[in-house]
Chain A
Amino acid sequence: MTTPVGGASSTPDEYDSRGDTRKIIGILAALAIFIIILYGFIIPLQGGFISSTAIRADDLQGADPRFEEQIPIQEVDLGASGRSIFIAFVMPTHILFANLHLGGGWVLFSLIILYILSRKEHYSRLGKSVALFNVILFSAGATFAANGVLFFIALYPTFAAHAFHIYWWPLLIEAILFGIEIFFVYTLWYTWERIGTAWHIFLAVGYPVAIYFQTLAIDTLVSGMLTPGAETITWGAPGLLGMPWTEYLQWWFNPTLWPLQFHRVAAAASYFGFLIALLAMLHFRDRADPPSKRYWDWAGSFGILWGLVGLVTQPLLGLWYMYSIFSHQFQAFSNIMTGPRAWEMLMMVGLLSFLIITVSVYFIERRERLLVRLGRRDIRNLFRAFAIIAAVAGFILVQPAWLGGIMQSDPGTWANPLGLMYYKFIALLILIAIGAITIGIDLLILHGHRDREWGNLSRTSRAAALITGVLGSWIVIIMGYVRESSRSPWLFYGIVPVPGGQAYPTPVPPHQIFVVWMLSLGLVFAVFWFTSRVTSYHPEQREEV
C-alpha cells in the first residue's frame, strides 16, 4: 500500500489511495488468457507452426543458383532454426537499445524546449538524466549492432556480400552518423547548464536529426529486403558504383522505405515514453523522500503521455505500411494478413489494445483523487468508459479472421463473423480516438490542477505504468518479427533465399520466438534498471513540479 505524500485527505467513500488492484489483476489475467488462446488454439488452427520454407517450397525451386550459399552452412547448435534464433535475439535486442536514441532524442528535445520556455527545474533534471542514460547505453546498442553484422556475415555470407555491397553508401553514412550521434548526445550531457540557450537548442536538435537520418540509412536495407528495388541483382563494372545510379536509387528508396521509417520513429517515441514511466515507477518505490516521490510521479505521467502520443500515431502509419506491402509484395502481405503469420498481427494489435486499456486504467487511478477534488465526475466516468470501450475494441481486434486452414482462402476454413477487417478498422479508430482524447483531457483540462497531487500515487496506477513499460517494449520487437517473418523464406524477397532449403526452416517457430522475446526483454530491463540507478538525478530539495 502506498501512503499518500502530503495533500489533503479524501473522503473515504469517494477515493481509495490503495487503488483498485482488481483492475491490474484483470489486465494481467486477460493478457495471460490471450497468450494461452493464441498459442494453444489460434496458431495451430492457422498453420502458424508450419514453416514458410515448407509452404513456399515451390517458389524456392525457382531461386537463382547464383544466390544459393556457396560455402558450407555454419550451424550454431540450436536446432534447425539456430541461425535465425541468433539473429532474432541479437537484432531486436539491438533495436531496444537503438530506439532509446530514435525515440529518446525527440523526448529529450521536448524536455529542453519545455525547460527553456518554463525554466522549471524538473524538465532540466529529467532531460539530463535521459542524456546520461543514452550516453552510457550507446555502447550497448553499438555492441549488439556489431554482433549482428558479424552474425550476418558468418551465418548468411552470400546474402551479406550482396546486401553490404548494394547498400555500401547508405551503410557508410550510417557508420559516420554513429560518430555524429554520440558527439551530439555526449556534448549535450557534458555541457549541460554550461552553454547558452542557442547552443543547447542546436545540440538538442542535432541529436534526434542525426539519429533520424541514421535510421533512414539502415532502413534502406531493412525495407529493401522486403521490397527489393529490382527482380534480381545485376552487377556492373568495378568502381564507385557497382550498378547504374538509377538502379541504386530503386534499391535504396524502395516502396516500403518511408512508411517503415515513420512507423519506426513513432514506435520508438512511444516505447521510450513508456520506458520512462516504468523506470520512474521503480524510482518512486525506491526513494523515501517526498520531493523525489513527487518528481518521479510527475516523470511517470510525462512518460505515459509521450507513450500515448506515439501509440495513437502508429495505427495510421501502420496502415500506410501495410498498404505499401499489399501493393508491392502481395505474397508477404498474404503471409501476415491472410496466411500462417496472421497470428503475429493478432498479437501485435492485442498488445496495442492492452496498452490503451492499461493507460486508461492508469488515468482512472492516477487522476481519481484530483477529479474527486475538482468535482469532475464527467471526466471520471469518461475515463472509466474509455477502459471498457477499449476492452471491447481489443476483443474485436484479437479475433482471428478464420480457423482451420493455412490461408484464409483455403477450402473448408471457418470464417469468424467477428474477425472481419472492417470491424477491426473501426476498433482501431476507436482506440486512436480514446488515446487522442485522453491526451487532450490530461494536457488541456487537468494540466493546471495536477501539481498538488504529485506524490499521491496508488499501487494500482504504479502497476499500470509498469505494465505499459513492458508492453511498450514487447510490441516493438514483435513488430520487427512480423516484418522479418513476412518475407520468410527469403532474405531478399524472391531473390536471395534463406540458405539451406527445407533443412533450415524459417521463420523462428512461435514457441522459440517467445523464449527469445523473454530473454531479450529480461536482459534489456536488467540493463536499463541498473543503468537508470546511476544515471538518474533526483531532486535535492522540495520544489513544485
Chain B
Amino acid sequence: MSQERSRALTYALWVAIAIYIGIAIYVFWHFGFTKLPPPI
C-alpha cells in the first residue's frame, strides 16, 4: 500500500472513531437523558 493511501486510511479510521464517539453521545442523550425516567 502506498504511503499516501496508508495515510488516507489512517485519517479515515480516526474519523470513524470520532463519529462512533459522536453516535455514543447522541444515543446516550436520546435514550438516557431524555427518555428514561429522570433521576430521583
**In the complex the two chains form, what is the Cα distance from A440 to B40 in whole Å?**
37
Expressed in whole angstroms, the Cα–Cα distance for A428 and B27 within the complex equals 12
Bound CA span A408–B33, Å: 19
In chain A, positions 304-334 with a C-beta closer than 8 Å to chain B are 312, 315-316, 319-320, 322-323, 326
Q: Dominant SS at the A interface?
A: helix
For B40, the chain A residues whose CB sits under 8 A away are 401-402, 408-409, 415
CB distance from B39 to the nearest CB of A (A): 4
Tell me the bound Cα distance from A443 to B10 in angstroms.
9
* A439 within 8 Å of B (CB atoms): yes
Contact (A440, B17) CB under 8 Å given A323-B36, A425-B32: yes
What does DSSP make chain B's interface, helix, strand, loop or mixed?
helix
* Cα distance A420–B33 in the bound complex, in angstroms: 11
Complex-state Cα separation, A448 to B36, whole angstroms = 44
Contacting A at CB under 8 A, from B15-31, are 17, 20-21, 23-25, 27-28, 31
In the complex, the chain B residue whose C-beta lies closest to that of A428 is B28
Q: Do A319 and B21 form a contact, CB below 8 Å, given A409-B40, A421-B39, A440-B14?
A: no
Asked if B27 and A439 make an inter-chain contact with CB atoms under 8 angstroms apart, the answer reads: no
How many residues on chain B are close to A (CB under 8 Å)?
A: 19
B5 within 8 A of A: no
Known contacts A316-B27, A433-B21; is-contact A420 B14 (Cβ 8 Å) = no
With beta carbons under 8 angstroms apart, the residue of B13, B14, B28 that contacts A425 is: B28
Tally of A interface residues using CB under 8 Å: 28
Neighbouring B residues of A437 by C-beta, 8 Å:
17
In the bound assembly, the distance between CA atoms of A408 and B40 in angstroms comes to 8
Whole-angstrom distance between the Cβ of B28 and the nearest chain A Cβ:
5
A149 interfacial by beta-carbon distance below 8 Å: no
Minimum CB–CB distance from A313 to chain B (whole Å) comes to: 9
Q: Which residues of chain A come closer than 8 Å to B10, judged between CB atoms?
A: 444
- A9→B18 CA distance, assembly (Å): 37
Cβ contacts under 8 Å, A436 to chain B: 17, 20-21
Chain B positions within 8 Å of A, measured between CB atoms, are: 10, 13-14, 17, 20-21, 23-25, 27-28, 31-33, 35-37, 39-40
| Further 14 A-B residue pairs, CB within 8 A, beyond A338-B37, A422-B33, A437-B17 | A312-B20, A316-B28, A323-B31, A323-B36, A421-B36, A428-B28, A429-B24, A429-B28, A433-B24, A439-B17, A440-B14, A443-B13, A444-B13, A444-B14
Sample of 6 A–B contacts (CB below 8 Å): A315-B24, A316-B27, A421-B32, A422-B39, A429-B28, A440-B14
